[in-house]
Every structure is written in C-alpha cells, then in structure tokens.
Structure 1
C-alpha cells in the first residue's frame, strides 16, 4: 500500500515542476517589467518633446481677440455708427465630439424655429481655421444666456462670448448712405486674411462700411490662456492686444440728412445735397429706407422677403442706382456746349410759339408754357427754363456733339465716390435723337445731376466736376 502511495505522489518531481513554473513566471514578470520600463523610457525620454507639447496644448490654448471696429460720425461729431456690447454664441468644432447631438440640444435650449435651426446648422459647418470659433447666434438675451450657463457641462466646445456689435442709431435715415455690416460668409472667407480677421465674425457689406472696410476693421490680437480639463479658462498667460479700427468723420450733416428724409415723408424718391465748391456730400437720402440693424445679426427670411416684395423697393438706393430723365437740369450744360461749339452766341434769339417742330415733321415738341415765351435769348432761356430754345439747340448740335460735351461733365459715367454700389448711367450717341433735353433715351443718376449743377455754380473753369469727398478725417 505504501509503495502504491509513493507511486501516486512524487514530492521531488512536484518540486521540480514547481521550480520550473516559478522560473518561467519569474522570467515572464521580468520580461513584462522590462517591456513596461522600455515603454516608459520611450515615452518619457525619447518622445518627451512630442507628448510635452501635446500636454501643453491641452492645458494652454491661444484665443483670438477681435479688434474694435472704428466709429463713424458726421461732420459735427454726431455718431452714425457705433458699437454696443452684446453676447454671441460660438462653436469650436474641434472640441465637440457629437456635433449633431450638441446642435439638437442647443436648438431645444434656445427654442429655435425650423427656419432658424436650419440657418444654425449651416453656420456650424461654415469653413473656419482649426480651433477658430464659428458664430452661431448673435445678440443673446438674458434668458438664453441663463439656460446655456445651467447646461454648460453638457455643451463642450460651446462658448458665450461678450463682444461689441455694430449699431446704427438712425438706421432708416442713413441705411443707403452708410450701408451695413453682416456675417462673414463662406465666399468672403476664401479671400480674407484669416490672421487679420481671426475671431472676427462681421464685415462691411454695402455703402461706406464696405468701401472703408480696411480702415474700419483694425488688426486682430491674441491671448494665451490656461484651461482645466473641461476647457474653462483658469488664468491668462500672455496677450497681444488687438489694434482697433480707425474712426471716420464724414462730410454728411445729420441734421440736413434727417430734414431731407422727413421732407420725402415716406414717398418714393431721393434727395442729394452737396457743397458746390468742394463736391462734399452733405446729405444723401433714398426713401423709403430700411432698418439696417436687422442685417447685422442676420435678417430672418420672412422679414427679408417682405423687403424684397415691397412695391416701394426700400432696398433700392435711388440716389446712386436709380436712372432718371434729367429734364431741365441739363439746359445750362447744353448752352455751354452750344457756346463751345460756336453754334450759338449769348445774344442770339429764337421765336418761341410754344412748341418746336423738326423740318418735314408734323410732330410738335411742347414748351412747358403752351403759348410760348416769344423772343428768347440764352440768358432768358435759362431764367424761364424754356424748352423750345433747347430743342432747337440740341438739333443744331447733333447727338454726337451733345454726347461729347455732356460726357465731359461726367454725364453717363460713374462718379467714383466712396458709397459702394453705384450703377452706370446712359448718355446716347449716334442714334438720331432730336430733343436730347427731353429724350427718354438719356438717363442720369440723381447724384450725378446734382453734382453737375453744383459744378456750374462753383465758377470753376474746368469741364470736369470736382470729385466728391466723403470722409473729412480718418482718426484713431
């Protein structure tokens, strides 16, 4: 029995097996420990710079600081465009793990309409530089800010930023002259200097705001901040202050601008007032106007459609885009053309029976006074605005000479002032037109007509009108 137990249990063999197993386990532990130590050496020594940089980037981030846009004021120091504090909602896509889920939550918190939600998502996907905030919503109210603050832990990558927003105190009166700023779109983003516009969400779209964009915008700055694991700023490590945009002082007189707008009294039309000696714009009004502040934060579809479908065309700038028959305003210039070409003299007279007829033509071109002014010379023709005198003069000059002389005053050409959006005009030639002073083929802009008349009163010797001057001073 004892021999049988010794056969079933061999202590020496078991000890040998145990020693072998212990040795293998020890070797495995040593190998794993060596592998772990090698990995630690690789990470801490070989790859130290790489992971140190990554860690620093997670702890420290660089934030852009948008510049303050320059102010615009009239010649007397009245503010026409200012900046007011507001809160904007921004998104940094690289810090958002679930973009669709985050947007769904934001739409619910802000109670957005389907139309607003669609625009919301389009803005979230607009191309930006890496880690640059995309503007989702402007001018948040207190209730919206409170709801976002309570749910901040659920919204990584979403920030509420305090910024200055463009504001026009007399938007309806100055909309067509000043223009407005609006959100930077994808097409504009392709052409902008992204370093200069870092953190900037708005750009001049029309009018003076667009023409002087480079002057008004300024230069973006930056700051380096330390953040915690949730991305909240703990402290500022350094900063480069932004360079604010320069202020503009315009030649416009706001009192005169307001008076001109009130005189139109809601009727369709435009009024332009300039200083004859310099060509400075004192007032430029197109009525009806519109609230340009709506375009700063992004006008909703319903409001924009209402403006487009309005029969009074409030978005149409009649002062620089409207084309109108010049009527009697070009009579003094026709008289000067006649003198320059030697067709008339100041003392030459014609008989005005109340109409003018071309040879072998029964049609009568009427004078405004149906029974006529009798004998009329050049001075009296201008004083009483006689039509017949200038029908006759235009026929004698011919359309080509009228075109050349009128073009020398700038008729039919762009003025080239700094109100962005000016359209061309029409000064026909070589079409056999007879009565140019009343011809439906001649079209001029309201501003050009006023500028030409001012030139005639400024006693300048040159045929060319003075170039209009909009800004008096650029400061800042």
Structure 2
C-alpha cells in the first residue's frame, strides 16, 4: 500500500526544527561569548593576578639576628648557617613510618625523635618541624638522591643562634627557641606591621636580653618572588627584596669580670650585681649556677630539661633578679641613714649594747655579745644588733617602709630584663593584704624589732641591694640600673646610645651620707672586713651580713654543722670603692655559706681589684676563693688585661 506524505508539511516542520536548533546554537554561542567577555575583559586583572600567583610564589626571607656584645666588643651571641631535615606532618601519610624510612638514609637518634615529638606537640600540622639539624654536605647529598621517596620532607638552610661562651652570663643573655602555639596566638594581637615582619620566623627570644630586645635583634624580613612549576617547585627567582639584619645590642657588662665572678663562686649558689653608681650601668650580673643556652636553640631534649628543672640547685632561677633574701646586717647602714634623715636618732647618740634586747617579754640576742656603748658609726663598724633593735622599735614598721621604698627595696627597679620580682618590704598595709585570717593581718610590735637587722619579713633581691648601695655611694642620687648601653645599626654602622631617665635626687643631706660612709669605711679598715681588704691599693667601704635561711627555734644556738647544707645561713656583703670617689658598687650573696666576711667579702675584694687595679687573682688564690677559705689575696696577682681569654672569645670578637 502506497503511503501518501504531505511534503509541504514535512518541509515546514523541518524548517521549524532548523530555526529552533539555530536559535539554541546561537544562544549557546552568545552565552559563550558573554562568558569570554566576562573573563577576558571584566575579570582580566583579577584572573591575570591569580594566574601569576599560580606561576609565582612570595617567599619570606628571615633576617640574620643581631649580635650581642659586651662593653668591650666581645661577641656574646652570634649566628651560623646549617642545613636541617624537616617534616611537614600534614603532607605526610604516616609520620612514624616516614621517620623509620628516613633512618635508612640518615641517622636519626632517639634524642632527635624526642625533640621532634615535643616540637610537634607545640606546632600545627602544617608547620615544618626539624627531625635532624646540622646536616653535613654528604648527608644533604645522600637525602637529595632519595628525596622522591619522601613527600613532605625537605632540606632547609636555616640560621642558628650560637652562644660562644656557653654557660657564661646565660641569665643575662637568655636564649631563643622555637615559637610555640601560645606565642603564635599572642602574635595575632600584634600590629599588622609586626605580624608581617615575623612571617617565616620560627624562633624568638625567650629569656634575658634575647627576649627584652627581641624586635631590635630580629631585623626586617625580606621577600623573594619565585617562579614555580605546576608541582610547586621553585624554577627561578623573579625579584627579591633582601632582609635587613637585626641591630647589634651593646651591653654594659664586662664579660671578663663576669667570668671572674662566676669562676670565684665555684660550685656554690648565689648572686652578685655590680653597678657603676655614677650611671646605673650594670658591670656584672651573676647568678650561680648557670646553664647552657645553646641547649634551647634547637629544642631542648627531655633529659636535659629534667636535669635543669629537677636540680635542687635550680640553675634556671635568675637569683640576681628573682631570688629574694633577708639582707641581714647589710641593712644596718640604710637603717642608720633612715634614722638620720627622719630625725629619729643623731650620729653621736650612744646606745648601750649588753648583748641582748628585751621587748614584750622576749629576749632578742646578739652573736657579738656585750660590746658596750656605741654611736652610729661604731654601730655599723661593730655590727651592733642591739643598736638596730632599739632603732627599729623607735621608728616603727611604716616609717621604715616609707624611707626604704624610694631606695628601691621591695620595688621593681625597672632594669631592662623581664621577670623581675618585687620582694617584700613589710608594712602594716602589706601584712593586711598578704594574709587571710584576721589574726594574721594584724601587725605586732614585736615583729618590728628584727626588721632593724634585716631579718623578719624583709626579702630583697641582690639587684635591689646593689642599687641601694649605689645610691649611698653617689650621695643620694638614684640611677635606673640598665644592661644595654647602645644599639648599632647593622647596615649603616651608626651607634645609637639608649637614653636613660635622669637621676632622681632622694634629698639626703651630705652630712648624713658622710656619717654612713664613715661607718662603712671603718668596717673595712677595722671591722669585720679588715682582714679581707688588707693591703688593698684603694679604700673601700662596705658591710658584711649573715642572714638566716630558715627560722631558728627560740633560745636555740645556731650550729651550722648540725644543719643540712641548704638550711645554713647565707653570707652577704655590700660595698663600694673607692670610698671617697666611688666608681663601682656591688651586692653579693653566697647561699648557705655562713659568715659574710668569710665567703662573700673575698669575692667583692677581687672584683674591686679587677675593676680599679687591673688585677686578677692568682691560681692559688682562686682555688681558696672557690671553697670559701680566702681572706686577703694570696700569691702574686696577675695583670687582668693579660690573662688568657677562652679561645671561643678570640674567635668571636666583633669587627
């Protein structure tokens, strides 16, 4: 059967389909054209920038950290470059398996593993963490040949901090360490400019000068624009802006004097602070025992950390800044000055010292025994407890507090080191705030008595005692103690002194200061320190002191041999020299060493000999000082400027 088709209708239907398809195609091409216009014209700049960023990478260039020098230009902190092997945990499937595989190529010690584990706990997963440091060229080449096996592991060239004299002055210098998560969070509150400057920085000052002058030492971060492959590998450098090294920090410390003092302490614990009373410059700042800051640079291992933190000697404690001690009899000269300035007692008033002082039914004794009548000068010379028991009773705790506070006792001195403690300068208000129970808040008159001889609630740092000594030495002028003299611009070489506040005049009358100085001078010429300073080429002024480390039971005679070593009395000495034109003032404590004249004063004598006479103890004299058996120097003193200095020092002298 033949089918009859409507050719005209089919043709019309076909034409309609062609038109529809044509319109669809035209619409599609219109959309494509519009999209091309949008991408090529409207978003041209944005997409071009993205393409460029895919092709290039901006890499921060961490600057060289600034040097730290002593007052004579000896380098105390510097840098060196070394290769490290680093793992980025987020780019590695199984970190432990990767480390095991790495051991087939390079040596990875248990200490390396422990350090990596600790650093990983303090870091984010996308941070690059070192598993090995200080790789040799051979090790770098060996890993490079096997790198394809270890995605997420790479070799980096890093700068490392170096302290060439190891433990010397470690409490002053401090150390740098890897930035932890807490510090990274704190950095988020910094100004945008400072945050940008720390891009790429992994290490920061943690303690001491390294921390206090972090931004000065850090420098300005540079940038490099690198062309990268599709896999993210650097192909070539397109542009760069070099980093600006950190500025050099120049300290007031004389590192040779610092070493002398640390050597004289030997294995004993204690602290010494020496100040130029005319300026407040800190010449020596010693805390013993010390520690090696190099241990912290790459991340300290668990064993070393435990050894430092669990030691009974507390080597991490900065005793000069944070250790507080009763000042003992070294407080008496300041009590004498307080009596003169407040009018509570004149210099010629004679007080009978029978060897005891009765108050409120309690008998306050004195190891000096019956020394008879003493005026103010002799009370300092003979260290009369009875004189100062009665003086404290007459003055009262609040008057003592109000006089001692401007001298810096129980106050923050403002030295350019972080972590300084205030100590305790007692008053009735202090006790109300310090205790909770009502009966503890009350100040009892009997508590005032022992304050006069530097005991009781009194607890001060050696920095505070040294500053107060410097005030007396300079006739009542109070200078802010400081460790940094100036900074030096690494690029221009320009030295910029750090401005210091003007000296504060505490208003002491010259006659009153002279009385105290005469008493201090007599301690050295005919008092408890006369043997130590016999034959000195200058006239010194000072005061010995002995302070209780633990409270003795009432009516119990002190017997050092019956006590544990850490329970024995502390030995103290405060002094300045020359007596008539002081150029150096100091305070020193030797913990649990007993009598101040036997352990502390000999150290001070050698400090003065070094600073004023260019003399260095003989070997036999040094041996006696280290064990607390020295008086006046023995053997022929050496010329300090000619004494051999450690090899590390000569190799690291600043240009």
TM-score, L = length of structure 2: 0.61
Please list every run of 5 or more consecutive structure 2 residues that lacks an aligned counterpart in the other structure.
1-24, 188-193, 429-442, 490-655
| Aligned residue in 1 for 2:370 | 371
User: What whole-Å deviation, never above 9, does each CA across 1:451-472 have from its counterpart, x for those lacking one?
Assistant: 1111111113x5xx31112211
Is the 2:209–2:417 contact (alpha carbons within 8 Å) kept by the matching residues of 1?
Answer: yes
- For residues 178 and 297 of structure 2, the distance between their equivalents in structure 1, rounded to whole angstroms, comes to 7
- For residues 394 and 186 of structure 1, the distance between their equivalents in structure 2, rounded to whole angstroms, comes to 51
Deviation at 1:122, TM superposition (A): 6.5
- For residues 427 and 383 of structure 2, the distance between their equivalents in structure 1, rounded to whole angstroms, comes to 24
Question: Secondary structure, in 3 states, of the residue corresponding to 1:363?
Answer: strand
Is the 1:414–1:424 contact (alpha carbons within 8 Å) kept by the matching residues of 2?
Answer: yes
- For residues 122 and 417 of structure 2, the distance between their equivalents in structure 1, rounded to whole angstroms, comes to 29
| Aligned residue in 1 for 2:383 | 385
Is the 1:82–1:167 contact (alpha carbons within 8 Å) kept by the matching residues of 2?
Answer: yes
Is the 1:171–1:292 contact (alpha carbons within 8 Å) kept by the matching residues of 2?
Answer: yes
Is the 1:277–1:455 contact (alpha carbons within 8 Å) kept by the matching residues of 2?
Answer: no
Is the 2:66–2:245 contact (alpha carbons within 8 Å) kept by the matching residues of 1?
Answer: yes
Where does 1:155-194 land on structure 2 (aligned, <5 Å)? 155-192=150-187, 193-194=194-195
Alignment coverage as a number of residue pairs: 436
Does the C-alpha gap of structure 1 residues 43 and 268 become closer, same or farther in structure 2, counting only changes over 3 Å? farther
* Structure with max Cα Rg: 1
Q: Indicate yes or no: 2:358 matched with 1:345.
A: no
| Aligned residue in 1 for 2:401 | 403
Question: Secondary structure, in 3 states, of the residue corresponding to 1:278?
Answer: coil
- For residues 453 and 231 of structure 1, the distance between their equivalents in structure 2, rounded to whole angstroms, comes to 64
| Aligned residue in 1 for 2:480 | 467
Deviation at 1:166, TM superposition (A): 0.8
- For residues 217 and 388 of structure 2, the distance between their equivalents in structure 1, rounded to whole angstroms, comes to 48
Is the 2:407–2:467 contact (alpha carbons within 8 Å) kept by the matching residues of 1?
Answer: no
| Aligned residue in 2 for 1:356 | 356
Does the C-alpha gap of structure 1 residues 369 and 126 become closer, same or farther in structure 2, counting only changes over 3 Å? closer
- For residues 122 and 359 of structure 1, the distance between their equivalents in structure 2, rounded to whole angstroms, comes to 59
- For residues 231 and 98 of structure 2, the distance between their equivalents in structure 1, rounded to whole angstroms, comes to 16
Is the 2:424–2:459 contact (alpha carbons within 8 Å) kept by the matching residues of 1?
Answer: yes
- For residues 286 and 418 of structure 2, the distance between their equivalents in structure 1, rounded to whole angstroms, comes to 15
Does the C-alpha gap of structure 1 residues 220 and 333 become closer, same or farther in structure 2, counting only changes over 3 Å? same
Q: Indicate yes or no: 2:229 matched with 1:234.
A: no
User: What whole-Å deviation, never above 9, does each CA across 1:202-253 have from its counterpart, x for those lacking one?
Assistant: 1000111111111111121110112335544332100111122111101000
Does the C-alpha gap of structure 1 residues 210 and 97 become closer, same or farther in structure 2, counting only changes over 3 Å? closer
| Aligned residue in 2 for 1:435 | 450
| Aligned residue in 1 for 2:421 | 423
Does the C-alpha gap of structure 1 residues 106 and 321 become closer, same or farther in structure 2, counting only changes over 3 Å? same
Higher relative contact order (CA 8 A, sep 6+): 1
Where does 1:10-25 land on structure 2 (aligned, <5 Å)? none
| Aligned residue in 2 for 1:66 | 62
Deviation at 1:56, TM superposition (A): 3.4
- For residues 111 and 160 of structure 2, the distance between their equivalents in structure 1, rounded to whole angstroms, comes to 23
Question: Secondary structure, in 3 states, of the residue corresponding to 2:195?
Answer: coil
- For residues 269 and 121 of structure 1, the distance between their equivalents in structure 2, rounded to whole angstroms, comes to 35
- For residues 104 and 52 of structure 1, the distance between their equivalents in structure 2, rounded to whole angstroms, comes to 44
Question: Secondary structure, in 3 states, of the residue corresponding to 1:435?
Answer: helix
User: What whole-Å deviation, never above 9, does each CA across 1:242-270 have from its counterpart, x for those lacking one?
Assistant: 12211110100001000000000121111
- For residues 216 and 241 of structure 1, the distance between their equivalents in structure 2, rounded to whole angstroms, comes to 17
Where does 1:104-123 land on structure 2 (aligned, <5 Å)? 105-106=101-102, 109-112=105-108, 116-117=112-113, 120=116, 123=119
Does the C-alpha gap of structure 1 residues 277 and 51 become closer, same or farther in structure 2, counting only changes over 3 Å? closer
Is the 1:391–1:435 contact (alpha carbons within 8 Å) kept by the matching residues of 2?
Answer: yes
| Aligned residue in 2 for 1:246 | 247
- For residues 54 and 110 of structure 1, the distance between their equivalents in structure 2, rounded to whole angstroms, comes to 39
| Aligned residue in 2 for 1:272 | 273
Where does 1:272-351 land on structure 2 (aligned, <5 Å)? 272-351=273-352
- For residues 88 and 427 of structure 1, the distance between their equivalents in structure 2, rounded to whole angstroms, comes to 51
Is the 2:253–2:284 contact (alpha carbons within 8 Å) kept by the matching residues of 1?
Answer: yes
TM-score, L = length of structure 1: 0.83
Deviation at 1:39, TM superposition (A): 11
Question: Secondary structure, in 3 states, of the residue corresponding to 2:480?
Answer: coil
CA-based RMSD of the aligned residues comes to: 3.1
Is the 2:357–2:386 contact (alpha carbons within 8 Å) kept by the matching residues of 1?
Answer: no
User: What whole-Å deviation, never above 9, does each CA across 1:427-462 have from its counterpart, x for those lacking one?
Assistant: 1123232121242311011111111111111113x5
Deviation at 1:410, TM superposition (A): 1.3
Deviation at 1:110, TM superposition (A): 4.7
Question: Secondary structure, in 3 states, of the residue corresponding to 2:313?
Answer: coil
| Aligned residue in 1 for 2:472 | 456
Deviation at 1:281, TM superposition (A): 0.6
- For residues 160 and 34 of structure 1, the distance between their equivalents in structure 2, rounded to whole angstroms, comes to 56
| Aligned residue in 2 for 1:84 | 80
- For residues 123 and 39 of structure 1, the distance between their equivalents in structure 2, rounded to whole angstroms, comes to 54
Is the 2:330–2:454 contact (alpha carbons within 8 Å) kept by the matching residues of 1?
Answer: no
Does the C-alpha gap of structure 1 residues 324 and 378 become closer, same or farther in structure 2, counting only changes over 3 Å? same
Does the C-alpha gap of structure 1 residues 413 and 114 become closer, same or farther in structure 2, counting only changes over 3 Å? same
Is the 1:124–1:136 contact (alpha carbons within 8 Å) kept by the matching residues of 2?
Answer: no
Q: Indicate yes or no: 2:53 matched with 1:57.
A: yes
